[in-house]
Structure 1
Amino acid sequence: MVEIPSSLCSLFSTQIEEEDGTYLVEVPSSEVDNEALSANETYRVAILESQVSTASSMQPESQQPPSREIKNQSPSKPPVDEGEVRDVTIETVGDQGDGIAKVERGYVVIVPGAQPGDEPTVEIEQVQENVAFARIVDSDPRAL
């Protein structure tokens, strides 16, 4: 299992494209739009091999070459649990006016009533595969 550092800004899947003897890794515009990354900044990039490639997944199983993928590995579970209390930093506000924080692996936590820059203590109330919903249990003292 790969250990993912807490300083991770973004996590996405993409294909590596060859163009004129160089290789390109295309960053989805949503990563910049959601302020996970900024244009004209330098980032460290880690490349992890995909467990299933598009080409091999189209071949019948009997024709596939021996696989190096780990059997019975489930997708990583969300990095938060219902009932968990933790400190977060609100990075932006969503379309519905709720605060949005990102925790490990860029996982999104939605916090109603929070504003960008707030650092409240929250309790995770509902956990889904891609997002969690939390309530503020202790407001950021700077926001008072």
Structure 2
Amino acid sequence: MEFLDSLLCMFTSRVKSRNGSYTLEIPEQEIDVGSLEEGKRYKVALFEAGEVGSAEDTGSNASGFTSQPSGTQQRPDKSPELDQPPVDEGEIREVEIEDIGEKGDGIARIPPGYVVFVEKTSPGDRVRIKITEARDNFAFAEVVGQV
């Protein structure tokens, strides 16, 4: 899909009826540590959960750094549902740290914008990480090696 190069974030949400309108909730971390800013306007595309292929299929993140090199563990199905994290606990990935979070942890993004907090890292670090906790919209990881 052509829009993946400009994709800022991706998450699963349910359409809810509220006072004669329909709304989608944006996870708080997309504003706190993601690429979205409150008050800005964005184009939104909706897909039924499970219809959109994983951005992992492209093999690289927005910076062009390979996020799933050969020889590392990956999801057996290689096509996760949108309502599940794109990583599993214990999974090994190679990432580039893009930013620093509020608590000083490095922030990496696994396509298509899934946030991973990595302690003891700095922007620009390229590291091999092990996912220690995977939640719906973000994960925690530890460094297991340098790239």
Q: Structure 1 counterpart of 2:101, which letter?
A: V
Secondary structure of the 2:30 match is helix
Residue 124 (structure 1) aligned with residue 123 (structure 2): no
* Equivalent residue in structure 1 for 2:110, among 92, 103, 114: 103
Render the CA deviation track for 1:101-133: whole Å, top value 9, x for unaligned: 222133222222234xx1211112236543251
Secondary structure of the 2:4 match is coil
Q: Taking structure 1 as reference, are residues 33 and 87 closer, same or farther at Cα in structure 2, changes over 3 Å only?
A: closer
For 2:101 and 2:130, how far apart are their aligned partners in 1? Answer: 19
For 2:95 and 2:30, how far apart are their aligned partners in 1? Answer: 24
The count of aligned residue pairs is 110
Secondary structure of the 1:108 match is strand
For 1:100 and 1:86, how far apart are their aligned partners in 2? Answer: 10
The 8 Å contact of residues 122 and 134 in structure 1, kept in 2 or not, is answered as no
Q: Taking structure 1 as reference, are residues 3 and 125 closer, same or farther at Cα in structure 2, changes over 3 Å only?
A: farther
Which runs of no fewer than 5 residues in structure 2 stay unpaired?
A: 51-78
Secondary structure of the 1:32 match is helix
* Equivalent residue in structure 2 for 1:78, among 86, 90, 112: 86
Q: Structure 1 counterpart of 2:128, which letter?
A: E
Shift of 1:23: 3.6
Q: Taking structure 1 as reference, are residues 15 and 77 closer, same or farther at Cα in structure 2, changes over 3 Å only?
A: closer
Render the CA deviation track for 1:15-38: whole Å, top value 9, x for unaligned: 242544x54334344432334410
- Moved runs in structure 1, 4+ residues, more than 6 A? none
Which runs of no fewer than 5 residues in structure 1 stay unpaired?
A: 52-72, 139-144
The 8 Å contact of residues 4 and 105 in structure 1, kept in 2 or not, is answered as no
Q: Structure 2 counterpart of 1:100, which letter?
A: I
Normalising by structure 2, we get a TM-score of 0.52
Q: Structure 2 counterpart of 1:93, which letter?
A: G
For 1:78 and 1:128, how far apart are their aligned partners in 2? Answer: 12
The 8 Å contact of residues 79 and 104 in structure 1, kept in 2 or not, is answered as no
The residue that corresponds to 1:9 in the other structure is: 9
Q: Taking structure 1 as reference, are residues 29 and 125 closer, same or farther at Cα in structure 2, changes over 3 Å only?
A: closer
Q: Which has the larger radius of gyration?
A: 1
RMSD: 3.6
The residue that corresponds to 1:93 in the other structure is: 101
Normalising by structure 1, we get a TM-score of 0.53
For 2:80 and 2:95, how far apart are their aligned partners in 1? Answer: 25
